[in-house]
Structures are given as structure tokens and as C-alpha cells.
Structure 1
């Protein structure tokens, strides 16, 4: 079975509970395929953020199986997790920028962690700052940025390394509608290069902005499949990121 058939991520009857409380996720089963754009939607408290934590390996499930990039992540040695996480771009709802670093250096961080030469870092980071409209704020530290500007830095940092999987938790929640659409177009461009994209949102208007997207809806910790997102979809044509 090739990678496209197996998918990038596979959940098999996954459950998640915190402590001794009841399950916040129950019997979650799906496959995410290469080159697809998924929206994860549901009411506040439905389980979106908990599911995303499993996707970016911040949380282990209480039961069930998860495979990612062809490997069983449940039995993956702890020392192998950092390398796995570098294949995943994450946009956190609370940004998680490094406070003592400039916007430029926050965006450059994934490249530096991956061992990219300094000579090869300046141009892609500069291009990304331009794309998210922050060229004039390259040297600004997070404390001096507005919430929307911090969000754009966080998104640029998540996509700068062209990850195999992008996971975004309410990525347009702190920007105006025009910037929200521009950021979605950035996600689409990355998706056309082959990155599997998962955007969690409660904004139903966003779902209409990406025509080829698939929707997974979560309600009280269980998934439904209104657009066939959990079945094997055809691959998309790949293209280039905007310059």
C-alpha cells in the first residue's frame, strides 16, 4: 500500500480523557490524505483543540491507535518525537511566540532548528514577512505587536518550513476579514505543494472560502463526516507558493 493510500495520518478508534474524568474524545477514526485541505468545525467545547493536540503530538490518546507518516506514534520512542514534530507546522490559538525574539527571528526559528544555513534563511523569511504584511515589523518583538500581527507571525513561523502537515487552531480569529482571506490563500498555496492542511474554526463563513476543502464536524467529542472527508479523496494538483 503506497503513502497516498495509507494517508499522512490515521486515527483508529481513539479516545482521550484527562485524569479520571469522562472521555472528551470518543471512538475517533479517520485518515488524512496527502494534498488535501480539511476544516475541523464544531461548537466551543466540542473537542476541536483536544483533537488538534493529538495531531501535533502534544498529547497521547487514552486508547486507540495513531499512525503518522507511516509510523505508529503510540510506540514511537520519546527521542524520536522532535524529528516527527519538525514535519508538522502548528498555529496555536495563543500564538506561543518567543518573547525575546524579533518577528524575523520567530519566523526563522523552525529553519534554524532544522539546521538550515544562515545564508539560506534571510530571503525566505523576508518573503514570508512580506506575504503576511509585516515587512515593516521585522525587528519588532511580540510585546510590541498587536494581536493580529502576532497571529500573522505565528502563521508565518508555522508554514516557513513547508511542513508535511499543517495544523491551525482558529488561525484567523485575530485578523480582519481581508487578512483572514489572504492567510487562507497562503494555506491553500502550501496545500497545493502537497502539505495536508487541517484548519479548526467555528466560523462557518470560512468553510465556503476554500472550494476543494473537506469538512470534519465534531460534536461532544465525536466526529461526523458531512463532505466525505473521512473517505479516500482524489489527490489535488500541486502548484507554487505565491512569491
Structure 2
């Protein structure tokens, strides 16, 4: 990525599935390194489709997408896995590996990155404690509640300190106190330099992050493509 350049660049992007009408049209925006964005919009507005392009699960039908300074539309598929390892993703449906414990699900990105087993216990243990699942470390996903699975999915997404974090309704299955705790985790990661994009319907959640910016999708188009709408700092007293 060139010095001073955007981490993510969308220019004139459109997306359609098969012969149907576009679900996203004329999407253009830049995300700067270290920024924090909320993506909002009604159900069906195209939020999940936009996130899929951000985490490289979907290529656009038209337009230009650059990530870390490189054109992803023209990039050979064999190079995509290396880019994906620089992105943390929190999926709406969690996508935990059912035969791995909570501990091993969280440790997976570090193992893929080549971190030795002797160096895993500390950060994984700290993450389990942070999300309140220290006593459930050996539990398998089918035995966890929806909220517990969500917390494991978030911990897995952030543990390797990705350059870009993409989260789709990350607090939808947890209580308000845990939602604030998880948001604090995203904020701490952002302060370390990670660019964060969170799709959410929760306006209260949006108001908690100082200097966060918002993009809103309406019927497949961005109503605030520059992210100029800022929320005032939250009262953290």
C-alpha cells in the first residue's frame, strides 16, 4: 500500500447476482488506514453484499475495488488467500468449526499464521477471559448458546490483529453489557491501527465510538459515500 493511500477503494462498483437487477449500484468510497466506520441501512439494502466484497468473498460485477493498494478485480485467484489473512471477519452466522473447541476456534488464525503452540496459550487465554468464556474454553460450538458462539467468532476475528476488520451485526446475539464490552474490543483494535467496518442497526452502538464515521445504504446505493456524517463523542463518564 502506497504511503498515505487508502486501505480500501471502491470506484463505480456494481454487483448483481445472475441476470437479476443490481443489488448494489455506483458504490464509491475510500477507507483510510486506522479509520472506524459503521455501515447502516434497512434489511435488504445490500449491507451483507457490500461486506462480502470487502472481505473478498464476492467480486464486483463492474467497477474497481482496490485493497491494500492492489486491484482485486484483476488479481489472480491464487493470490487472494494471502490477502484474506490480513482481514478479520465476523459473520452473522458465526461459521465456527464445530469439531474444534472454543479455544481452538479462537487460536485458528494464529496457527494459520505460523505462531508456535508455545506462544498461543497466553493470547488465547486472555481473549477467552475478555469475552467471558474462560470456563467454556473446552466447549464445542454445538454446546454453546448463540451469544457465546458470537463471542467466540469475534475473538477469532480479532486475535491476529488484522489490518482490516469487517463485522456483520456483531452484537446481535448478546446482551447490552456484553455488546459494549465487545465494542470496546473493536475500539482497542482500531487504536492499534486496524481499520474497522461494522454493519449494524443499533444506533445506540454507533453513538459510543468517538470519531466513528457512518455510511448508509439505501436500496443498493450509498446515501453518505464520503462518510462525512460524524457522531458526537459518547459520554463515557
Q: Any unmatched runs of 5+ in structure 1?
A: 234-243
Distance 1:224 1:112 in 2: 40
Please say if 1:229 is aligned against 2:227. Answer: yes
What SS does structure 2 have at the residue aligned with 1:38?
strand
Q: How many residues align?
A: 230
TM-score calculated relative to the size of structure 1:
0.92
Post-superposition offset of 1:45: 0.5
1:88-237 matched pairs, under 5 angstroms: 88-225=87-224, 228-229=226-227
* Displacement of 1:9: 0.4
Shift of 1:230: 6.2
Match of 1:241 in 2: none
Partners in 2 of 1:180 and 1:209 — Cα distance? 11
Is residue 2:81 matched to residue 1:85?
Answer: no
Runs of 4+ in 1 over 4 A off after TM superposition: none
Quick check: 1:168–1:200 contact (8 Å CA) kept in 2? yes
Aligned residue number for residue 236 of structure 1: none
TM-score norm. by structure 2 comes to 0.94
Alignment partner of 2:174: what SS? coil
CA deviations 1:37-85 (Å, max 9, x no partner) are 1000000000000000000000000000000001111111111111100
Contact 1:32–1:230, Cα closer than 8 Å, also in 2: no
Task: Please say if residues 103 and 137 of structure 1, whose CA atoms lie closer than 8 Å, have aligned partners that are also in contact.
Answer: yes
Matched residue, 1:3: 3
Secondary structure of the residue aligned to 1:26 is strand
Alignment gaps of 5+ in structure 2: 231-237
- How far residue 211 of structure 1 moved from its aligned partner, in angstroms, is 2.0
